[in-house]
Structure 1
Amino acid sequence: MSEVSRKRSRSQEDDDSGSRSSLPPAENRTRDADYWFDDGNLILVAEEVEFRVYAAPLMRRSPVFREMLSLPQPQADGAAYLSIPTVRLYDHPTDVRRLLGSIIFGNDLRFVKDRPDFRTLSSLIRMGHKYQIDYAVEGALAYLQHYCSYPSPSQLTDLQAVPSNFSALDHIGVVNIARLTHTPELRLLGLAHCCTLHPKALVRGLKREDGTSEKLSPEDLTIVLLVRAELIKDDGLDVLCIRDGAEDCEYAEECRWMLMRFLAYHIGTQEQQSSSASWRQAWSSQLQDLHMLPSDRYADSIVAREPEKQHSMTGCIFGHSRE
């Protein structure tokens, strides 16, 4: 990610980073179990949760916190710590907790058990971007790109190559993260996954931990729906072209009937056709899964057409993205 993309102008979201007013009453607040240090010199309040931390690391890591904390701050209203400055953050407590973990442990995600899920990565990237903590963005984005990437456009169709703890709807967030961080290759993959979602699910969006719904932008939603329509049309073309295998195959007639049975299973009985997660697996691998094996010569003639089919979605997305 370029330096320019990270060092962006302050947005309205940034203006709401912190406030010295509208703190909830102390008696209604609870201390965070992980980030409450008795000798901390700063209290952050997110909704009804208090975090008592050290100001120096925040000011050192984040220009936004540095600017915010350079101004006079109100004192906490609890009798036990009257002299401690208090800052109200307009973020979900879970997002603040993850950001503090990143500040304390760095960008190696040591504070995340096992493999981080998309919510964690998205939270770190969004919060890191908001508070201009570059390494928080870069560390989470690098992890996301490692698991959500493809070596070449022809391999974009391997939609299973994502972390097992990602949900299908998470890719709505992947598209939006890609837009936020100006990462076009990540956006392409996210859009490809979104083509596997039902239109109703796309419209409902991805539910965040704060209860709000994250949705695709109107532009990206339009791209996904247009691409889905073209892929379904491609299914129809497959039905017409699948018979055109090797005519000199000794078992050509049997192979044709076998492939017609396959089409009846794969297209006739599936609800989503091209928009299913396996919509562009090679014919040969799907036939093997169903224990339907045409002759090698006939199968090879079909597989030879795969590169063109595998590029179809990439071309659709690129084409609609440029319109």
Structure 2
Amino acid sequence: MYSLNDLQAIVEKSFGELQLPIEPRNLYEPISYTLSLGGKRVRPILCLMSANLFSDIVDKAVKPAIALEIFHNFTLIHDDIMDNADVRRGKPTVHKKWNPNVAILSGDAAIIVAYKYVAQTDPALLPEILKVFNATALEVCDGQQFDMEYEKLPVVTEDDYLRMIELKTSVLLAAAAKIGAILGGASLQDGERLYNFGRNLGLAFQLQDDLLDTYGDPKVFGKAIGGDIISNKKTFLMINALKLATQPSQVALQKILKNEAIAPEEKIASVKAIYDEVGVKEITEKKIDFYYKLALAEIAKISVREERKEAILSYAEKIMGRKS
């Protein structure tokens, strides 16, 4: 069995050896820049850990694991343009460091690079891996489209929001886990269990991200706190505040959201005060715990020795204890 440190070293070594063309510089340099910002590398590590559940050799899973991370970073490049975000992982976003046109095209190129890595999968398993990868890639786009549409809707339900983040975020973690399982030689049943584990962990992960955006430490979080509030995003927190606040607080919250002249700091403080009044932080933490326990229940069903599950369980705990 590989330790987390072993797998992290494999992932970072693979990215260190990633060779992109030099020219045109403004096409490939933004990809290298984005990947160099690091991040938690959750998807490739989860892919390798899932493979390691069933096999002591993870070599087959390395290229697809790298592909998943490159695809994830493509989504971040384009997502930052759509959100007009200035900072990613404490550094300027690609469209701010270069310009939006460069960011769009570099993101497009990153998808192709990701597929080049997927194509280096064991030929016998490639059709099955591509089926998962392609379905997931489209689902991520579905989720992003729903996210943009929800910004214009007056009301978004909690169920709508959870489905959107499932598509936008959690299905990629689910795919990482399932692809790793396939490459590790898992049964179809265990592959589905790993998929469901990743999906539920992804939901908990995104809800935690929503929570950190309001209640996190900006020095640790890697970006400014309150970005979701400033952009009027209908996050799990906002949806529950609008649903559960007293009538006067609901009216006050709607006025704050419609007031384009309000200073960002004042807007964040005012909305957060209503969140605190409703107990949104505790409600969100409870939902995070709900999905995390569902994820752990899927691992419990997997048909390998209990000691082989220790690494992935420890990693899930580490992810959910994050502050950034």
Give 1 or 2: higher strand fraction. Answer: 1
- TM-score scaled to structure 2, two decimals? 0.25
Where relative contact order (Cα < 8 A, 6+ residues apart) is larger, the structure is 2
- TM-score scaled to structure 1, two decimals? 0.26
Give 1 or 2: higher helix fraction. Answer: 2
Larger radius of gyration: 1
